[in-house]
């Protein structure tokens, strides 16, 4: 799958040093990945509650939440087959960092949350694609199957943002792109699925 459109949206690629760190920290990579899938489902559910009267939002988000939970289950099965035990992990700085850029008032808040969702899905897709050359074949096949779903999720969030926006989204997308790229490209002491440049 050609993910150039995802890379164009993101504006920067995952640094090679992060992929090398991922290859050395596969247990943490998988455990954190499982947490991210669970979080993706819970974020979609949260939006379904908060924006319950936005009809166009409810069904696509419900479907997305189910799909993310299936991803979660698949990562759990894969971890089990590798003897990796699912444990609590402190989250990456990434999602919290992006959330700082979200407007506090609606309707702008909804648009921002949808754009933020698009970035998280796009980055996940790009990370899976980048990781393929750094992991074993079984994991590579698994990531390949997931990256197509995450590309679809990116598109869904972006389409929803465009549907609800009353004006052009370019300025808001650029605002989140700057924030996101900084989180990806600046040194980060804690290795996670969405962490920045490894410091070790
Ligand atoms: Fe997912
Ligand atoms: Fe997703």
Q: For 90, list phi and psi in degrees, rounded to 5.
A: -65, 140
Superfamily classification of domain 16-194: Ferritin, core subunit, four-helix bundle (1.20.1260.10)
Q: How many CB atoms lie within 10 A of CB 49?
A: 8
Question: In the chain, what are the domain boundaries?
Answer: 16-194
CA of 112 to the centre of ligand 2 (A): 17
Q: Average pLDDT for residues 89-98, to the nearest whole number?
A: 96
CA of 69 to the centre of ligand 1 (A): 8
Closest CA to 152 of 32, 22, 60, 51: 60
Which ligand sits closest to the CA of 38?
1
Q: 160 is written with which tokens?
A: 């929803």
Which ligand sits closest to the CA of 146?
1
Asked if 22 contacts 29 with a C-beta cutoff of 8 angstroms, the reply is: yes
Average confidence score pLDDT of the chain:
96
Note the pLDDT tens digit of each residue in 24-82.
999 999 999 999 999 999 999 999 999 999 999 999 999 999 999 999 999 999 999 99
Give the HSE-up count for residue 9: Cα atoms under 13 Å, Cβ half-sphere.
24
Distance (Å) of CA 70 to CA 50, 62, 88, 149, 180: 23, 13, 19, 11, 26
CA of 153 to the centre of ligand 1 (A): 8
């Amino acid at each position: 799958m050609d993910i150039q459109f995802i890379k164009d949206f993101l504006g920067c690629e995952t640094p090679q040093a992060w992929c090398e760190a991922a290859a050395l920290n596969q247990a943490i990579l998988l455990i954190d990945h499982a947490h991210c899938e669970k979080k993706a489902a819970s974020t979609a559910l949260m939006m379904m509650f908060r924006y319950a009267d936005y009809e166009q939002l409810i069904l696509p988000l419900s479907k997305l939440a189910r799909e993310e939970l299936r991803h979660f289950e698949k990562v759990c099965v894969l971890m089990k087959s590798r003897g990796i035990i699912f444990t609590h992990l402190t989250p990456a700085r990434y999602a919290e960092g992006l959330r700082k850029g979200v407007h506090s008032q609606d309707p702008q808040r909804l648009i921002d949350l949808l754009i933020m969702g698009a970035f998280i899905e796009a980055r996940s897709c790009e990370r899976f694609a980048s990781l393929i050359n750094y992991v074993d074949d079984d994991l590579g096949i698994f990531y390949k199957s997931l990256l197509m779903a995450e590309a679809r999720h990116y598109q869904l969030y972006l389409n929803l943002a465009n549907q609800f926006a009353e004006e052009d989204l370019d300025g808001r997308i650029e605002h989140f792109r700057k924030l996101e790229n900084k989180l990806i490209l600046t040194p980060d002491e804690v290795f996670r699925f969405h962490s920045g440049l490894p410091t070790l």
